[in-house]
Structure 1
């Protein structure tokens, strides 16, 4: 996809982001779906052209020219992620929506919108959106793109009870001392081997959800199946006659999670890892990402840690006829 947008682009243009092919990190590309020619001179009336393309399980990037081409920022960018879309799509869209706008020229877009329901992209939906924007305080592009999860910097007095992690990308999230201390205890043998962190959506803070000791077969029943979690697990096991205790980072995001939770957790996962490494001194051996805790089994973890190496047999020349 080339950067920049032609002034001649019609009103609505849809760009879907396909799901990731299994085990292939090279094919995540934006593919044009269609270009819709405006049927009237009214933006609100032409919104009905989008309806056939809005399906319950397919996320889309939608680029609309809402304002005259003489306007320095005539376009708006919509990220449409229906609740029933696959979890992988939701995470990809949440983490790449700003990248798309930047590639096309961020100065050309007056605003970005995140929608989860078809009615939000109707004429009435835009009317409600405009009324809300007129009342709301203006947000920067970065704040909007990260799911509107950073409102103000924490006041100075709050710094005594929490530590702020500084990361190069993603959402920089305050973390409570209790969470850091629990992570530090994973370094040594004995004691708890599973630390779960959660995000307090109201305060935008990373907190300790629980610290327990469970066998690997108990992860599915211990990690929350209703809310996203960052889980750090010390997996003590024997492989090839040697006992090892690697630290695993397990990010789970159940499909029933709220859309704001999914966006915030997806954008903050790197922050969680860097908190563990920089502030708790952990060395993360393996990162695992699953929709449900039930997908994290001993067999799958061992397969990730110790993949089987296929040994190819050397080519054997066929024996000549008559010889044994």
Structure 2
């Protein structure tokens, strides 16, 4: 699923001008107010694509992501343009996720047929003449959008999908983004992992978007029936819950990791929480010694009930009857 960001009318107009005007080499695009907008038009200083790559130098910043549309092939060809997603390693995590998840929206809304290929770059030298030579040597030109399966370094695009219920248990990301955690949050997790019931059995963590740090949201003693009303219904949460219950005559207290992401959450929140969900589980393990028994994902806390949790922990095993040979007619 994409980020929800779309191309502005201003970008559509700028791109149409690029298509019809061969005196333009390319177009730089950024994200502002949840919209794709043009920032700079690149006019060629020569007839050589390799020579004109020097036009990019003033615009490539070490901590700023950017989309770069370049005319690389003759205008008589069906797909004269390439789309570059430039995301330097030092860019903020939130920015990485937004640009990675929106890159396909860019080419789709401007016209897939216009682009020969889409490229990821995270270093300025990747966009030099030598960098393109290396790219061409190691990667045969493919049909547009085949790079949909390619990851951006350690970040893979996949945000929390709206409407996802407990019936779907896939992880939002196949690799996570490491995120620091406060001492207060770590302490609460250690108490939960140590089984100190007086301190509560539900620990909720939240992400401080401005500092990109996991913080403690709350610690409460919550019965299973009250989870849906105790976990925040307006903001995403990472909840660690010690569920003490009896099953088949045995009492156990597994710890559940519940990741909730309400559909009304802001795009940046959805992206950052999705990218860091695995990090939350890992830090609970390494910093607090918590071994999560079951991971649960839900769009809304209302999707969480005692019945659904028990079904996750103790799925019913279907017993198939043995095949019975049909009786011959006339026999009893």
Coarse TM-score class (shorter-chain normalised):
0.5 to 0.7
Aligned residue runs from structure 1 range 269-288, under 5 A: 269-288=277-296
TM-score, structure 2 as length reference: 0.53
Unaligned runs of 5+ in 1: 1-15, 18-39, 47-63, 79-92, 111-140, 148-167
Unaligned runs of 5+ in 2: 3-14, 22-66, 75-80, 87-96, 108-116, 125-151, 159-173
Aligned residue runs from structure 1 range 267-306, under 5 A: 267-306=275-314
- 1:193 corresponds to which residue? 201
- 1:206 corresponds to which residue? 214
1:202, distance to aligned residue in structure 2 (A): 1.6
1:240, distance to aligned residue in structure 2 (A): 1.1
Q: If you compute each CA radius of gyration, which structure gives the higher value, 1 or 2? A: 2
Task: Give the distance between the partners of 1:96 and 1:312, measured in 2 at CA.
Answer: 47
- 2:72 corresponds to which residue? 69
Q: Secondary structure at the match of 1:230?
A: strand
**RMSD of the alignment, in Å?**
4.0
Residues 1:170 and 2:185 are matched in the alignment: no
Aligned residue runs from structure 1 range 71-220, under 5 A: 74-76=82-84, 97=101, 105-107=119-121, 169-189=175-195, 190-191=197-198, 192-220=200-228
1:174, distance to aligned residue in structure 2 (A): 1.5
1:170, distance to aligned residue in structure 2 (A): 2.4
Task: Give the distance between the partners of 2:314 and 2:186, measured in 1 at CA.
Answer: 29
Task: Give the distance between the partners of 1:94 and 1:41, measured in 2 at CA.
Answer: 24
Task: Give the distance between the partners of 1:108 and 1:68, measured in 2 at CA.
Answer: 20
- 2:18 corresponds to which residue? 43
Name the CA shift for 1:241/1:317 in 2 (closer, same or farther; >3 Å): same
Matched length: 206
1:204, distance to aligned residue in structure 2 (A): 1.4
Name the CA shift for 1:96/1:279 in 2 (closer, same or farther; >3 Å): same
Residues 1:226 and 2:234 are matched in the alignment: yes
